[in-house]
Structure 1
Amino acid sequence: MNEPMLRKDPAAISSADFFDRARARLRFDVPPGLNDPTIIPKSGDQGTDRMLEIVAREQPVRPAAVLIPVVEHPEPTVLLTQRSAHLNDHAGQISFPGGKIDATDASPLDAALREADEEIGLQRQFIDPIGYLDLYATGFGFRILPTVARVKPGFRLRINQAEVDDAFEVPLAFLMNPANHQIHSKEFRGIERFYYAMPFAERYIWGATAGILRVLYERIVLP
């Protein structure tokens, strides 16, 4: 969790500039760590990295893919979901559309697009995939590969209540402003680890979702 020396005002980055930067900096190369337990994705936090090493030895790798849908409004937004309260994993938490990669998925991108359609009815005709963000690992054994995508306005969502309670948009400028990136700590087997939280109105964005948004900020927004 290295705090950058230079902080750029996200309001100074236009929608077109954000997508141009994303296209220049991202690719669709699948990292080997998505399936290889011996490769531990680095988080930038020593405690979290230690936790991930322990988890990789004790649990099977669970490859997953999510979509980061950046909606191309004049002031762009990020489309997020609130997971259903009855789910076994991360019930009620704020998340990106996505889930585990099935054997029938042609690629992590295909998995992310499929899940976005199944969970919230976001149709592929509105989605312009740009590239993969860095691989993100969690304490539950998930290896998450996020796909950044430009989403055209005009879509109509169809919420799958079995998986998602709600879908909502948050201004990209809010999420990309480091002043809104709170740092909290939690203990894992005597190891202190740090994680990000980005509370927005009544929504508490934290954990993997906030961590992935922080990576998006570092990869795309910073010069």
Structure 2
Amino acid sequence: MIPLRLSDPHAFTPAGFRERALSALSGPQPDDGDGPSDFDLNPEVAAARPHPDALATARPAAVLIPAIARETITLLFTQRTNHLAAHAGQIAFPGGKAEPYDADPLATALREAHEEIGLEPSRVTPLGTLDRYLTGTGFRITPVIGLVDPAFTPVPDVNEVADTFEVPLSFLMDARNFQRHSRNMGGVDRHFYAIPFGDRFIWGATAGILRNMHQRLFAP
């Protein structure tokens, strides 16, 4: 893998990003046991789990990482509505749990993106998948990277998506923008990665997936 140079304009063009993603993600995927998770910064929480093998009980899910093919790539995010039962108001990629009729994680990611933001599968060029991400809520997420036609205009499902916004890929892939934060949840301090961007706060599984994306595509 060619080390990332933030000053290299080609690295974040559609052609440069496509080349990098196809090259980096063409090999075999690491075993799930070595993949990223919400437990990476919380080993004591992992040790206290009722079932020692969380992978055995995790439910499959997938998200689409929409890389908008502008002159310089941006990633599209959603902000979940505040009335949802889980992860209300949080920033996420479009996605959700796999259904029995989904052929594979790509099918799940494309279906969910179409349902949540009106993204037609014909506007997406799949570039590969990152390492599966295990969440503390019991999901094993497959992140699918897709290059998206820049003419696409999001049409959010108002029941699930309060807003959509884009962030330059160069900002998200700069390791200096990754931070570690903690919050007290249920009387326990939980640690997590976060990427503040203006008044947006990208954290939790979404930030963890972005960190894995940096490691797989742009780390020396």
Same fold (TM over 0.5): yes
Question: RMSD between aligned alpha carbons?
Answer: 2.7
Q: Which residue of 2 aligns with 1:3?
A: none
Q: Any idea what SS the aligned residue of 1:113 has?
A: helix
Q: Which residue of 2 aligns with 1:70?
A: 67
Q: Is the 8 A contact 1:28 1:131 kept in 2?
A: no
Q: Any idea what SS the aligned residue of 1:143 has?
A: strand
Q: Any idea what SS the aligned residue of 2:196 has?
A: coil
Output aligned runs, 1:10-159, within 5 Å: 10-12=6-8, 13-15=11-13, 16-27=15-26, 33=32, 39=33, 41-43=35-37, 47-52=41-46, 54-55=48-49, 57=51, 60-159=57-156
Identity of aligned residues (%): 45
Q: Is the 8 A contact 2:94 2:112 kept in 1?
A: yes
Q: Is the 8 A contact 1:40 1:53 kept in 2?
A: no
The code of the aligned residue for 1:51 comes to V
Question: How far apart are 1:221 and its partner, in Å?
Answer: 1.2
Q: Is the 8 A contact 1:51 1:139 kept in 2?
A: no
Q: Is the 8 A contact 2:64 2:144 kept in 1?
A: yes
C-alpha separation in 2, matches of 1:78 and 1:210: 13
Q: Any idea what SS the aligned residue of 1:115 has?
A: helix
Q: TM-score, normalised by structure 2?
A: 0.85
Q: Is the 8 A contact 2:66 2:76 kept in 1?
A: yes
The code of the aligned residue for 2:12 comes to S
C-alpha separation in 2, matches of 1:162 and 1:47: 32
Q: TM-score, normalised by structure 1?
A: 0.84
Q: Is the 8 A contact 2:37 2:205 kept in 1?
A: no
More deviation, 75-84/18-27: 18-27
Ranges in structure 1 where 5+ consecutive residues have no aligned partner: 1-6, 34-38
C-alpha separation in 2, matches of 1:72 and 1:152: 6
Ranges in structure 2 where 5+ consecutive residues have no aligned partner: none
Q: Any idea what SS the aligned residue of 2:119 has?
A: coil
Question: How far apart are 1:196 and its partner, in Å?
Answer: 1.1
The code of the aligned residue for 2:180 comes to I
